[in-house]
Amino acid sequence: MNGKVGEEFMLSKYVQVGSKLEIQAVERGQDYELADKRTVYQSQVYEIVSEDRLEIIMPMEKTKLIMLPVDAEYDLYFYTENGLYQCFARVVDRYKDNYVYLLLIELTSNLRKYQRREYYRFSCALEMNSRPLEKEEIDSYEQKSLDLSPGLPLQRSVVVDISGGGLRFLANYSYELEMMIACRYHLVIEGKNKEYNLLGKVLEVREVDNRPGVYEHRVQYVDINTDEREEIIKFIFEEERKTRKRERGF
């Protein structure tokens, strides 16, 4: 990377071994707001070589390695505990180390904080109870004074991924698109079990392939407060750290 890297832009200050990242092909003149329309590859930081070079695990689609060409330039988006960071980078080399296929990447720009409405989704298996909102509850929500009625029957489901922006769950029933639902589940954060009662909007429903009667729902949180969102993100990073430790044999 040309020029001296200031401490505030140091790679190791924000990115860690094991950090998740997205890789997107650079399209010059492309507006950042349109970035999500490009092909996105998922990867993970394998080693930080220096403040402008790192090794990442070669991305895969299903069981096929994606052989990103040497000298090609990409957008990198790093998921960190301090948020999402973006930079441009170039593929320097491709090789195999201890049965792991790697890309050597050189940063061609400094990191910058990147604001985006998406959140990293963490695969999990969490029990959840939910129910549709009653008409009176929807009316109170539209009047900015939501008051959930206690004691109404809930239906069980399993959350299969969760993020700071919403969740995806499986159930043996289906909700309607755009339906407002109350969601209740528990997370363990820093050893403490906490119950979350959140409002969600159903964005997508589909029957799972080869599992008749089982429906996948994608839900976006509605009016979640900042503290609860940050707690969910903290839970995700805690679980990711535990997974990395298990993978490394600690």
CA 192 to chain CA centroid, Å, is 23
Domain ranges of the chain: 7-113, 122-245
Judge residue 113's burial from the number of C-beta atoms within 10 Å of its C-beta, 0-12 exposed, 13-18 middle, 19 or more buried: exposed
Per-residue pLDDT, averaged over 154-179, amounts to: 94
Handedness of CA 202, 205, 211, 214 (dihedral sign): positive
Q: Which tens digit of pLDDT belongs to each residue from 130-157?
A: 999 988 888 777 766 666 777 788 999 9
For domain 7-113, give the fold.
Pnp Oxidase; Chain A (2.30.110)
User: Is residue 246 pLDDT above 60, yes or no?
Assistant: yes
Q: Which tens digit of pLDDT belongs to each residue from 183-234?
A: 999 999 888 899 999 999 999 999 999 899 999 999 999 888 888 988 898 8
User: Is residue 123 pLDDT above 80, yes or no?
Assistant: yes
Q: Which residues pair with 42 in a beta bridge?
A: 22
Q: Tell me what pLDDT residue 116 has.
A: 57
Per-residue pLDDT, averaged over 38-49, amounts to: 86
Per-residue pLDDT, averaged over 35-62, amounts to: 83
User: Is residue 99 pLDDT above 70, yes or no?
Assistant: yes
User: Is residue 174 pLDDT above 90, yes or no?
Assistant: yes
Q: Tell me what pLDDT residue 35 has.
A: 40
DSSP-based three-state secondary structure for 220: strand
For domain 122-245, give the fold.
Thrombin, subunit H (2.40.10)
Q: Tell me what pLDDT residue 132 has.
A: 93
Q: Which residues pair with 197 in a beta bridge?
A: 184
Contact between residue 74 and residue 106 where contact means Cβ atoms under 8 Å apart: no
User: Is residue 239 pLDDT above 90, yes or no?
Assistant: no
